[in-house]
Structure 1
Amino acid sequence: MNSIVKNRLFWPAVILVVLLVVNAFTSNQFITVQNGHLFGSLIDILRGSSALILVALGMTLVIATGGIDLSVGAVMAISGAVACLLIQDLPNQNAIGPVLGVVAVAIGVSLVMGLWNGSLVAIIGVQPIIATLILMVAGRGIAQLITDGQIINVQSGPYATIATGFFLGLPVAFLIAAAAVALILLLTRRTALGLLLESVGGSPTASRLAGIGARRITIMVYVVAGGFAGLAGLIYSANIKSADSISAGNLIELDAILAVVIGGTALIGGRFSIAGTVIGAILIQTLSVTVVAIGIPPEANLLFKAVVVVALCLSQSPDFRAKVFGRFKTRQAVAA
């Protein structure tokens, strides 16, 4: 039991369960079945967390190598802008084949953005925070150039399915995120890739001396992060059926980093947890939904969220727990 409590995922999981219980009592419909599909606040949480899961998944891999990616929100905006611009020009926006082609093009553009970041970091040697900050600023401008500063609206049923559709009773958006998580888990925990990522994050120099292609791995994780961010951008734009280059992915990089930290991944690189990142992303979305459900004023939402996150991070710290509970035990011993 003691080993379970000391696990870094214990407290995030406990808080997630508590928030879900609160939602179950405060929402009118926590989960229900309508027309063969699941609905309710739980499904809204899963659907709402899909984009964040994808972005945080890519962020986890980048951070595992000792990097950071601040451009994921801008990549989301670019991806949505490209997709909506191309769909708008289609003769038939409801044709599945052309829409799938547009989706492929948008993800391809996102992969190129990730390749740009990875090349700056691994080949040119720019610090990750600076390299991705460049695209964070420029990418939002690129998205606005693509849309000519306008909000592009589309009326494509197949495209909207990415965000609002259901398959086997579950939201398609969440199934896409779940498939991405399963793929990354398979690659990082069933192959040597996970060990290579931790080696590069722990010591890039030692990794190169050991014959590990640190540069190739670094470029790869930024490309993957770009691809996942692009996919998240498609989910966002498909949900609102338009390309909003200003609001799309705005500040999502901060929530992604929070999800990674809550999940127990070390910001200095090395150790990482995919399962922890997923829990962290769902927890953040659940917290946002719960704040509204219990009637906390909108102006206090961010403050409440910050307090919960700080408390969670402190509860995960072995040093903090040792100091607090150590003093408590000492006082009990003295009183006895």
Structure 2
Amino acid sequence: MSSDSTSRTSMLIALIRRPYFWGIIAIALLLAVNSLKDPGYLAISYNETTGSLVGNVIDILRAAAPIAMISVGMCLVIATAGIDLSVGSLMAVAGAIAMEFLSSAGGSAGAAFAALGLALLLGAVLGAVNAVLISVVGLQPFISTLVLMLAGRGLAKVITGGQNTAASNDTFRWIANGYVLGLPVVFLLAVLIVIAVGLLVRRSALGLMIEAVGMDPRAARLAGVNRRGLLFAVYIASGALAAVAGVFATASVMTVDVSNTGYQLEMDAILAVVIGGTSLAGGKFNITGAAIGALLIATLDKTVVFLGISSSATPAFKAIVIIALCLLQSERVRALFRARRAKAGSATHDAPKEAVAA
């Protein structure tokens, strides 16, 4: 075998061992299934009136943006051996404060940026509350974020007076519905944030310190890592990114539904993170994998609707796809298949020898 063939084989094996590789395969398979039902499913056209690209793929990219935001924050939190169940509620709180502000501030561009800043600030503050409960008070991450998950929607109802508040602001609406170079602004912003966070944690010591805290907090402390400061950083980042996702979700319709905005998206974020190869035990994370996992969740949601699967069977369908993907990612399962294949190959190879001996 030539050196080039050996190199290509090694690269392929390394790629297959990356957990998010199977996420990409799953996305391709789901798109292929949809294309079998409708050969024009992947078609993309250009709308000259709006200056935008139009098609099912573009809709998937738009739907993946808020999931990607909360998945990136969740990825950092889980890397510290924590979890953030409050991100869905924080989306509702951020949307509520933005809509309430815009309903009285008017439709100017300045009001739009002020509402965005207010939502980000509130998300960061609530993320800091989680950090205080975990790193200062000493509560388990599951319990502390569950408390804010339950209290968050109550806070959103207090902000809006229990109503689904609507507002009108063209600049704010453009954040979710606008286009740049034919692509949705919401998707481009999500890509920029994913790249920025990825570069920050991988081009500096921050990523290594986060992983160290997740692997062994005591050893990290003895090595001089500020565990409390890192926990504050990741939970504040998670809260702020959830607020961005909340802005995305509410700006598209310029209305906040305090009961449904961000509902159960924390589960989608956790699934996206796991699909991307981040260990729930902490100490290992993959920002790229989390983004691909978010894209897979959005593709899966669109596929469920496109195939006309009933709402009662939807959770089971999603569970089957995700379980199959997790099994493909499992090194133990792949080792079992390799062992069975080697055993079958050995039996086939020994069969002619036995025939000759006979």
Shift of 1:151: 0.8
Fraction of identical pairs, as percent: 42
Mapped partners of 2:305, 2:260: distance in 1: 20
2:80 is aligned with what amino acid? T
2:166–2:254: 8 Å Cα contact kept in structure 1? yes
Residue number in structure 2 paired with 1:177:
190
1:197–1:270: 8 Å Cα contact kept in structure 2? yes
1:11 is aligned with what amino acid? W
Aligned pairs for 1:138-217 (under 5 A) are 138-217=151-230
2:214–2:281: 8 Å Cα contact kept in structure 1? yes
Decide which of 272, 291, 295 is 1:282's aligned counterpart: 295
1:191-225 per-residue CA deviation (whole Å, 9 max, x = no partner) reads: 11111111111111111111111110111100000
Residue number in structure 2 paired with 1:2:
13
Aligned pairs for 1:1-336 (under 5 A) are 1-27=12-38, 28=40, 30=42, 31-35=44-48, 36-90=51-105, 92-93=106-107, 95-334=108-347, 336=351
Unaligned runs of 5+ in 2: 1-11, 352-358
Aligned length: 334
1:26–1:293: 8 Å Cα contact kept in structure 2? no
- The 1:250/1:238 distance shift into structure 2, 3 A limit, reads same
**RMSD value over aligned CA atoms?**
1.4
SS in 2 for 1:298: coil
Shift of 1:143: 0.6
SS in 2 for 1:44: helix
Greater shift after overlay, 240-249 or 26-35?
26-35
1:72-103 per-residue CA deviation (whole Å, 9 max, x = no partner) reads: 0110010000000111112x32x101111111
SS in 2 for 1:241: coil
Mapped partners of 1:59, 1:109: distance in 2: 18
TM-score in terms of structure 1 length = 0.96
Mapped partners of 2:212, 2:267: distance in 1: 25
Mapped partners of 1:71, 1:232: distance in 2: 13
Mapped partners of 1:32, 1:245: distance in 2: 35
Shift of 1:25: 4.7
2:323 is aligned with what amino acid? V
Mapped partners of 1:80, 1:292: distance in 2: 26
2:127–2:237: 8 Å Cα contact kept in structure 1? yes
2:34–2:41: 8 Å Cα contact kept in structure 1? no
1:27-64 per-residue CA deviation (whole Å, 9 max, x = no partner) reads: 55532111231110000000001000000000000001
2:268–2:297: 8 Å Cα contact kept in structure 1? yes
Mapped partners of 2:98, 2:15: distance in 1: 45
2:97 is aligned with what amino acid? V
Shift of 1:145: 1.1
2:162 is aligned with what amino acid? G
Shift of 1:120: 0.9
SS in 2 for 1:33: strand
Mapped partners of 2:149, 2:34: distance in 1: 35
Greater shift after overlay, 7-16 or 49-58?
7-16
SS in 2 for 1:38: strand
Unaligned runs of 5+ in 1: none
Mapped partners of 2:124, 2:37: distance in 1: 41
2:300–2:318: 8 Å Cα contact kept in structure 1? yes
In our comparison, the structure showing a higher alpha carbon Rg is 2
2:70 is aligned with what amino acid? V
Greater shift after overlay, 132-141 or 1-10?
1-10
